[in-house]
Amino acid sequence: MNNDQYLLAIETSCDETAVAVIKNETELVANVVASQIESHKRFGGVVPEIASRHHIEQITVTLEEALQEAGMTLDDMDAIGVTEGPGLVGALLVGVNAAKGIAFARQKPLVGVHHIAGHIYASRLEKEFEFPLLALVVSGGHTELVLMKGHNDFEVIGETRDDAAGEAYDKVARLLKLSYPGGPEIDKLAAAGEPVIDFPRAWLEEGSFDFSFSGLKSAVTNKLHNAGQKGEEFRPEDVAASFQESVVEVLSTKTKKAAAAYGVKQVIVAGGVAANSGLRARLLETFQETGQELLIPPLKFCTDNAAMIAAAGAVAYRQGHRAGWDLNAHPGLDLEEYGKRGRN
Amino acid sequence: MNILAIDTSNYVLGVAVIKNREVVGEWVTNVKKNHSVRLMPAIEQMMRETDTSPDELDQIAVAHGPGSFTGVRIGMATAKSMAFALNIPVVGVSSLEVLARQGTFFKGLICPFFDARRGRVYTGLYDEEMNVVMEEENIDMKTWLERLHDMKQSVLFISQDESAFREMIEQELGERAVFPGAAHRYARPSYLALSAMKKPASSLHTLMPNYLRLPEAEQKWLRQKEK
Ligand SMILES: [Zn+2]
């Protein structure tokens, strides 16, 4: 009797059409990502309708490729997982309905997965979780500190009160006239610059693990504007380095304090901004000192992919979480509420 | 030959099961409710009521638009993934052609249309044998009606958005404009399945929605490029 568990997962929440197959929660068998980044470049950001159109064009191709890569058929799957939210509603709908179509056609259980849970579980593809753990989630839409005391047990202990860190990156990239997506471009520039400008750090009130990046965003705007009027000029490398220094210092300091306050065993960095080399280096330094284990997924698992959805979905499936045929896309799905489903 | 037909391209949610050319089940609602939530439960119930298991299906038929962008994609994602999972053919049929079939017994030209906002419509023209007389397009209704006027034949107008355009149509075509009763203004998924039977199977990966309209951002981008 074969007790291996296989789950196929679909991710279409933003601008990547992705399908993955996972074995026993942590062994990746196939991972296919069709990126649309080139199609959105000329618009300077993701256009939801265009993203949705690409998803419907790519979905069956990506499914076929993933099964080929796995050398398996749908018969071998125990369940189908899909990103249910958060994300762009039109984009999510393609994945959700494709997942339902497959699950119904082959009479397989269906599991809805939270996108951020996926980003966190990307780290489990590399190393087994040890609880309690703390996840710093940083992406275009999210900046959160999430405490986990067990599988699918999420407590958001800090979150952004205005902009996500990724949004600030995009805004500053536009000010510096960098190409889309701006985050990696700033990271590259920053490496060649010096943090000579003292941009503000939003610490908020004592003991708070919340974030705020809108003040930093306007500080950069004003600084560049005023300099321009006085005929001064900053090297873009130095602006990028100074901006990144401010973001990285706030993120790493708050993460360090939260990790100490909750006595966690592991610290996970998740989301697209986890690919940032400045942030990676600072966090490595920080947690070398404290001795807490730092898990940062490899670059390919930081950006959106289905391997992470499969990793999170397989745990939800084991915990008994099942979606009905009326599963919908939930662009504002709450992480804590989502986690409770599987455990009830 | 068992066919499952799926239409979520407009307000109508239609699901039908056809077995050996016989319509054994057909479900139509015409309410402004979420297709994504209701489609799969509707399919599940229809298949159960008609004692059809998914692996007994031989073909999926789907309305590929024009219509609501999101609505079209919900039907297409479902149809394409089911066809993929069951390894059976999928056939895409124009949402306008499906609607035109409501005029099956009409002697003359048949003009189905959907409101595309700002005086425009998604429309096409068919003869009584369902041959395409004028290709479907996204067009200003006034311009379209002028073309129909020149054809000097009776035209049956089939649309849920009839009332918004009826005056304009009657002005242009007078007595040659014919309107069916309310029961004929909605696409039926059984007609979708029967249309699909007459067409070759689409290629799974290349079957795409037929939006008849570029995304807003792309229209804007093209306009700027022209300047
Ligand atoms: Zn993401």
CB–CB of A213/A161 below 8 Å? no
Contact call for A52 and B208, based on CB within 8 A = no
Contact call for A99 and B76, based on CB within 8 A = no
Dihedral sign computed on CA atoms, order A143, A333, B6, B96: negative
Q: How far is A45 from chain B (nearest CA, A)?
A: 11
The CB density around residue A61, as the number of other CB atoms within 10 Å, is: 17
* Residue numbers in chain B where pLDDT is lower than 50: none
Contact call for A93 and B74, based on CB within 8 A = yes
pLDDT of residue A342: 65
Helix (H, G, I), strand (E, B) or coil at A134: strand
**Band (A258; pLDDT cuts 50, 70, 90):** very high
Contact call for B69 and A107, based on CB within 8 A = no
CB–CB of B71/B216 below 8 Å? no
Does the pLDDT of residue A106 top 80, yes or no?
yes
pLDDT of residue A232: 86
Helix (H, G, I), strand (E, B) or coil at B106: coil
Helix (H, G, I), strand (E, B) or coil at B143: helix
Q: How far is B207 from chain A (nearest CA, A)?
A: 8
Question: Tens of pLDDT along A297-319?
Answer: 998 899 999 999 999 999 999 99
Question: Tens of pLDDT along A201-238?
Answer: 999 998 999 999 999 999 999 999 998 888 888 999 99
**Band (A150; pLDDT cuts 50, 70, 90):** very high
Task: Give residues 185 to 204 of B whose Cβ lies within 8 Å of A.
Answer: 204
Element holding B35 (H helix, E strand): helix B35-49
Q: What is the mean pLDDT of residues A286-294?
A: 94
Query: Which DSSP symbol is given to A179?
Result: P
Strands B2-7 and B12-19: antiparallel
pLDDT of residue A41: 87
Q: What gap in Å lies between CA A150 and CA A153, rounded to an integer?
A: 5
**Band (A343; pLDDT cuts 50, 70, 90):** low
Mutate to test the interface with A, among B4, B15, B81 (most CBs of A within 10 A): B81
pLDDT of residue B225: 87
CB nearest A329 (choices: B36, B44, B69): B36
Contact call for B81 and A97, based on CB within 8 A = yes
Give the predicted TM-score (pTM) of the model: 0.96
Residues 6+ apart with CB under 8 A from A5: A23, A24, A25, A78, A314, A317, A318
Give all strands (DSSP E) within A199-246, no chain letters. none
pLDDT of residue A344: 53
pLDDT of residue B57: 98
Query: Which DSSP symbol is given to B153?
Result: S
Residues 6+ apart with CB under 8 A from A257: A209
Query: Across all residues in chain A, what is the average pLDDT?
Result: 95
Searching chain B, which residue's CA lies closest to the CA of residue A75? Answer: B85
Share of chain A above pLDDT 70, in %: 99
Q: What gap in Å lies between CA B135 and CA B146, rounded to an integer?
A: 16
Query: Which DSSP symbol is given to B101?
Result: G
Dihedral sign computed on CA atoms, order A246, A247, A253, A258: positive
Q: What is the mean pLDDT of residues A160-176?
A: 92
Report the separation in Å between the CA atom of A264 and the middle of ligand 1, taken as the mean of its atom positions.
24
Q: Across the strands, what pairs with B109? A: B155
Contact call for A102 and B37, based on CB within 8 A = no
Q: What gap in Å lies between CA B179 and CA B162, rounded to an integer?
A: 8
Q: What gap in Å lies between CA A101 and CA B4, rounded to an integer?
A: 12
C-alpha distance across the termini of chain A, in Å: 29
Searching chain B, which residue's CA lies closest to the CA of residue A62? Answer: B205
Q: What gap in Å lies between CA B85 and CA A82, rounded to an integer?
A: 16
Q: How far is A148 from chain B (nearest CA, A)?
A: 31
Token pair recorded at residue A298: 């490899």
Per-residue burial over A303-341, b = 16 or more CB atoms within 10 Å of its CB, e = otherwise: bbbbbbbbbbbbbbbbeebebebebbbbbebebeebbeb
Single out the residue of A82, A32, A121 nearest to residue A312, CA to CA: A121
Single out the residue of B15, B22, B78 nearest to residue B48, CA to CA: B15
Report the separation in Å between the CA atom of B143 and the middle of ligand 1, taken as the mean of its atom positions.
46
pLDDT of residue A32: 98
Mutate to test the interface with A, among B73, B86, B211, B222 (most CBs of A within 10 A): B73
Mutate to test the interface with B, among A10, A74, A104, A328 (most CBs of B within 10 A): A104
Report the separation in Å between the CA atom of A119 and the middle of ligand 1, taken as the mean of its atom positions.
7
**Chain A residues contacting B, CB < 8 Å?**
42-43, 47, 49-50, 52-53, 55-57, 59-61, 63-64, 74, 90, 93-102, 104-107, 324-329
* Count of all residues that appear for chain A in the document: 344
Mutate to test the interface with B, among A325, A327, A328 (most CBs of B within 10 A): A325
pLDDT of residue B154: 97
**C-alpha dihedral, A15 to A17 to A20 to A26, nearest 10°:** 10
Question: Tens of pLDDT along A3-16?
Answer: 899 999 999 999 99
Q: Across the strands, what pairs with A17? A: A34
The CB density around residue B190, as the number of other CB atoms within 10 Å, is: 22
Does the pLDDT of residue A179 top 90, yes or no?
no
Q: What is the mean pLDDT of residues A229-251?
A: 93
Single out the residue of B199, B179, B53, B206 nearest to residue B113, CA to CA: B179
Helix (H, G, I), strand (E, B) or coil at A182: helix
Does the pLDDT of residue A44 top 80, yes or no?
yes
Checking ipTM against 0.95, whether it exceeds it is yes
Q: What gap in Å lies between CA A230 and CA A217, rounded to an integer?
A: 20
Q: What is the DSSP string of A70-100?
A: HT--GGG-SEEEEEEESS-HHHHHHHHHHHH
**Band (A283; pLDDT cuts 50, 70, 90):** very high
Q: What gap in Å lies between CA A204 and CA A263, rounded to an integer?
A: 22
Searching chain B, which residue's CA lies closest to the CA of residue A95? Answer: B77
Contact call for B84 and A64, based on CB within 8 A = yes
Token pair recorded at residue A204: 């908020």
Q: Is B184 on the interface with A (CB under 8 A)?
A: no
Searching chain B, which residue's CA lies closest to the CA of residue A61? Answer: B205
Q: How far is B217 from chain A (nearest CA, A)?
A: 7
Q: How far is B69 from chain A (nearest CA, A)?
A: 8
CB–CB of A290/B5 below 8 Å? no
Q: Across the strands, what pairs with A112? A: A82
Query: CA-based angle B132:B136:B140, to the nearest 5?
Result: 135
Element holding A159 (H helix, E strand): strand A153-159
